[in-house]
Structure 1
Amino acid sequence: MSSTHLPQIKIPATYMRGGTSKGVFFSLDDLPLEAQEPGETRDAILLRVIGSPDPYGKHTDGMGGATSSTSKTVILSQSNKADHDVDYLFGQVAIDKPFIDWSGNCGNLTAAVGSFAISNGLVDADRIPKDGIATVRIWQANIGKTIIAQVPMTDGEVQETGDFELDGVTFPAAEVEVQFLNPADGEGAMFPTGNVVDELEVPAIGDFPAATYKATMINAGIPTIFLNAADIGYTGTELQEAINNDDAALARFEHIRAHGAVKMGLIQNISEAVARQHTPKVAFVAPPADYVTSSGKHIAKADIDVSVRALSMGKLHHAMMGTAAVAIGTAAAIPNTLVNLAAGGKNRQAVTFGHPSGTLKVGAEAEMLDGNWQVKKAIMSRSARVLMEGWVRVPQR
């Protein structure tokens, strides 16, 4: 074999579904030594694992699924932080660019973190019951927040099978309750502008004229910009094909996202948005309405409190990102946000929202402290399952 064509390396890895996402999970100590620290080497290996960048947009030569919800990597390690079991670092991998965004969390994959940590010896054995619920204390390293996962155990092993159904996931599984503590994102105040609703000025782009939109910009779960669906020409009942096949609309959403990111103080100039694709998210809300999901399921407006559609990595999400669900639940609990108003404007401790694949309920309790809104925790249920475990192979550079 020529020295210019080196053999592949083998890295222990687990391919997991968490919520409506899936990704490749690694224990930090299993990565090559030079990839155990952040940097170019780590990113290059993980990009090759996923199969990015792929100009064909298929991830044929990697483990990725060529969508934002399936192009993900997770690195876990035993935590040195007091009262925590595991450190969780998430990388959102771009599909067609050589880029991994480490700026935010993945709430869906959080549901799989606890079970991976237990199964891979990252949680002290005396904290794991033989039967019942194991409480896994997760330090979310991207945003510096604590998450609690309640993982079911049967006969000393993580229970993955069950009858819990999650819209956006085909098969039932065991329920995993996830609690996001103090979910305001780690980059500042919950409302970075100090307002629950702002006027967001967006210059013209393409055939879309300059406009000023009402926007709720919130750091909770993940930085999110909420717009009224009607203000941007939508109903809030759209499915993916209505937006993802419209290049002009996608460019407009990215334009809005970039200007919102500047107003939220996440970037200094809109040109920086290209290097920060994972955050903030853009979502639009509307009062509840009847609609048919992507699987053909009929959702009645009486079944939901509010309709929400959200974009991730430049595309409308097929369901709802877990972190965006935290933002939705938090915003719904705070009076006069756009989410709260679309949901009827009343005080609430939980909200059920409609998304392209169905519905999801998330709980959050808000209170005003020293003139600022605070949310102690947001709670929702997901599920998780190991799809494959063993080694992933990566060509050497």
Structure 2
Amino acid sequence: MAHLPQVKIPATYMRGGTSKGVFFRLQDLPERAQAPGPARDALLLRLIGSPDPYGKQIDGMGGATSSTSKTVIVSRSTRPDHDVDYLFGQVSIDKPFVDWSGNCGNLSSAVGPFAISSGLIEASRIPKDGLATVRIWQANIGKTIIARVPMTAGEVQETGDFELDGVTFPAAEVQLEFVDPAADEEGAGGAMFPTGRVVDDLEVPGVGTLKATMINAGIPTIFVNAEAIGYTGWELQDAINADTKALAMFEAIRAHGAVRMGLIRNVEEAAQRQHTPKVAFVAKPVDHVVSSGKRIGAGEVDLLVRALSMGKLHHAMMGTAAVAIGTAAAIPGTLVNLAAGGGAREAVRFGHPSGTLRVGAQAVQVQGEWSVAKVLMSRSARVLMEGWVRVPGDSF
């Protein structure tokens, strides 16, 4: 039996924030994978090593967690006032599909550096030293992200002293500005609060009726109070990810919340939309210990947040969920805002399993509708490896 040889594809393996992923220029993908469709999905699945019934992604570039089973495709943008288009694919670990329904906020920090280093930005827009401004069109949800990338001697500066909880080593700071982050109709139903309320009663069979803030900002997210589901808000991964009953409860909350948000028509469709919405639970701050063993005092944060991604508690915080947290914290009456002490605020520092994160947001209410012009946060990014990835020629 004849077997096709492997195909070599130029690629860059990058860390962005607390995630890692394989980055491609659209023009470097095989021709049949340059357009959305089954060939592209099959290519990315095989490249990452999915679906893997062992849950390890040994035969691929994935790291067997939601934070490391990611792909990014970047191309020059034809949109006015944008430099590049950025498309994110969340690859399922154990199922044969790629979820294109949302963005990855952490990997957003690596898009600007990748675009500059890959020759996708006009040279006239790149300073030799200082900050390069990269205008990114986030194609999954139709939103603009502004990245400010440090440059030294004409090259992207990757090393530095900026520390990010959840990342072991310091690096150069990349400033991100998520412009008008409330998702549009393509991404998540149009309104920032799809039900028209900042808090709803969400009925979840087998769980009960929970107070919930369901928001479209950064990524569709469902927030509930930790104490309402039997948690403290300072749990670490093992407390939840090893508990099959807890994971089933969170998936039920996610599925029923997705229906209420208008993202899916019935709960059965949730299985084919794993990336969105996210589920998070919030609590008022208390002294606690994070995964590194570091002690965080109650006075060091405004609230505690834990979030699930692809069915598991995240080891830190998804960047897009951080946008949702910052947005919700700025709007009086949301569960996030109340956990942070209530009232008006333009920034919030929250605790997550790996430490803390600060996010800035300014919310305004016009004719009863809330909007946020932009959300600000800092991350870091670094090239881990560059060259070619290989996949069997008959796999896509």
* TM-score interval, normalised by the smaller of the two chains: over 0.9
State the match for 2:251 in structure 1. 254
Could you tell me which of 333, 356, 360 is aligned with 1:359? 356
Q: Which amino acid aligns with 2:195?
A: T
Distance 2:318 2:80 in 1: 29
State the match for 1:290 in structure 2. 287
Matches within 5 A, 1:88-167: 88-167=86-165
Give the deviation of 1:334 after TM superposition. 0.1
C-alpha offsets along residues 277-307 of structure 1, whole Å, 9 cap, x if unaligned?
A: 0000000000011111111011001000000
Distance 1:66 1:223 in 2: 23
Matches within 5 A, 1:1-397: 2-3=1-2, 5-186=3-184, 187=188, 188-204=190-206, 210-397=207-394
Q: TM-score, normalised by structure 2?
A: 0.98
Distance 1:300 1:52 in 2: 41
C-alpha offsets along residues 76-117 of structure 1, whole Å, 9 cap, x if unaligned?
A: 000000000000000000000111000000000000000000
Distance 1:253 1:220 in 2: 20
Distance 1:277 1:144 in 2: 19
Distance 2:286 2:52 in 1: 38
Distance 2:32 2:17 in 1: 31
Aligned length: 390
Q: Which amino acid aligns with 2:360?
A: G
Give the deviation of 1:346 after TM superposition. 1.9
Q: Which amino acid aligns with 1:49?
A: L
Distance 1:369 1:346 in 2: 18
Give the deviation of 1:196 after TM superposition. 0.1
- Aligned CA RMSD, in angstroms, stands at 0.6
Give the deviation of 1:165 after TM superposition. 0.2
Distance 1:346 1:387 in 2: 42
Q: Secondary structure of 2:110's partner?
A: helix
Q: Which amino acid aligns with 2:106?
A: N
**Percentage of pairs with the same residue:** 77
Give 4+ residue runs of structure 1 displaced > 2 Å after superposition: none
Distance 1:149 1:370 in 2: 31
Give the deviation of 1:185 after TM superposition. 1.2
Distance 2:293 2:280 in 1: 23
Q: Secondary structure of 1:48's partner?
A: helix
Distance 1:75 1:183 in 2: 21
Distance 2:56 2:44 in 1: 16
Q: Secondary structure of 1:383's partner?
A: strand
Distance 1:249 1:344 in 2: 28
Q: Which amino acid aligns with 1:312?
A: S
Give the deviation of 1:350 after TM superposition. 0.2
Distance 1:396 1:260 in 2: 41
Q: Which runs of 5+ in 1 are unaligned?
A: 205-209
C-alpha offsets along residues 3-36 of structure 1, whole Å, 9 cap, x if unaligned?
A: 2x11100000000000000000000000000000
Q: Which runs of 5+ in 2 are unaligned?
A: none
Distance 1:369 1:152 in 2: 36
Give the deviation of 1:396 after TM superposition. 1.6
C-alpha offsets along residues 50-82 of structure 1, whole Å, 9 cap, x if unaligned?
A: 000111111111000000000000000000000
Q: Secondary structure of 1:323's partner?
A: helix
Distance 1:345 1:262 in 2: 28
Q: TM-score, normalised by structure 1?
A: 0.98
Distance 1:275 1:396 in 2: 27
Distance 2:287 2:74 in 1: 41
Give the deviation of 1:370 after TM superposition. 2.1
Distance 1:315 1:179 in 2: 27
Distance 1:46 1:262 in 2: 29
C-alpha offsets along residues 338-374 of structure 1, whole Å, 9 cap, x if unaligned?
A: 0000000021100000000000000000000121001
C-alpha offsets along residues 177-208 of structure 1, whole Å, 9 cap, x if unaligned?
A: 0000000012310000000000000001xxxx
